[in-house]
Amino acid sequence: MRPARHILPPVARLRPTLVAKQCIRRDARWREKTMKSKTTRLLRILSDIRYAQRCTALRAARAATEADAVLAERDDPAPDERDDAESDDPTAVPRSRIGSPH
């Protein structure tokens, strides 16, 4: 079985001398900087994804608004409105559903 791969390289084991302590400090700074840059990269990637999703959602909302506007521009009155208008007119002849010419 392979050992697990980590994001950061393992800490080098050095002898406890002044030089080694400085080296470890540098290594710790390097690790911190590397982690920050990877975190920053991940945050930028996530931000780009959110931006793309937002743009897609805005485009979809704009298209839905245009479709609603087109549907609202229809010239035909709604069937309920026609029934109300016909019932108020006493001289209107009831229409046959068969559509005979008589």
Q: What is the pLDDT of residues 76-92, one digit of tens each?
A: 556 665 555 555 555 66
**Is 48 part of any domain?**
yes
* Domain that includes residue 50, residue range: 18-72
Residue 90 within a domain: no
Where does residue 99 fall: left (phi above 0), alpha (psi -120 to 50 degrees), or beta otherwise? left
Could you say which residues of the chain have pLDDT below 70?
1-28, 30-31, 34-35, 74-102
Q: With respect to residue 58, please indicate whether it lies within any of the assigned structural domains.
A: yes
pLDDT at 93: 61
In a domain, 84, yes or no: no
Residue found under tokens 């608004």: 65
Which pLDDT belongs to residue 72? 84
Domain count along the chain = 1
pLDDT at 11: 61
